[in-house]
Amino acid sequence: MKTKHTFTVIFFTGKSRSNPKHLSLYVRITVNGKRAEISLKRTITDKDWDNNKSRGRGSSQNVRTLNAYLGRGV
């Protein structure tokens, strides 16, 4: 018997309300078509975020720490 289950995790950003040059980070988890979005309570400057890779861009200590937190490695 085959069953079809799906599971995806994506990271995305939204404009920070308190600082216009920063982006707030969120994660969306989808299981079998049902979504849940959670704020990660972290921010990053817009120039340090890579939308295509959904991770921080660069090699500064802050970006490396964030990427490790996101589970993407360094």
pLDDT, one tens digit per residue, over 16-57 is 888 888 999 999 999 999 999 999 999 999 899 998 988 999
The pLDDT of residue 3 is 75
**8 or 3, which is more confident:** 8
63-74 mean pLDDT = 80
Contact 22, 43 (CB under 8 A): yes
The pLDDT of residue 25 is 93
Give the pTM.
0.79
The C-alpha angle with vertex 54 and arms to 58 and 63, in degrees rounded to 5, equals: 30
The pLDDT of residue 74 is 43
The alpha carbon of residue 41 and the mean position of all alpha carbons in its chain are separated, in whole angstroms, by: 11
What's the CA gap between 67 and 60, in Å, rounded?
Answer: 11
Query: Residue 32: how many CB atoms within 10 A of its CB?
Result: 8
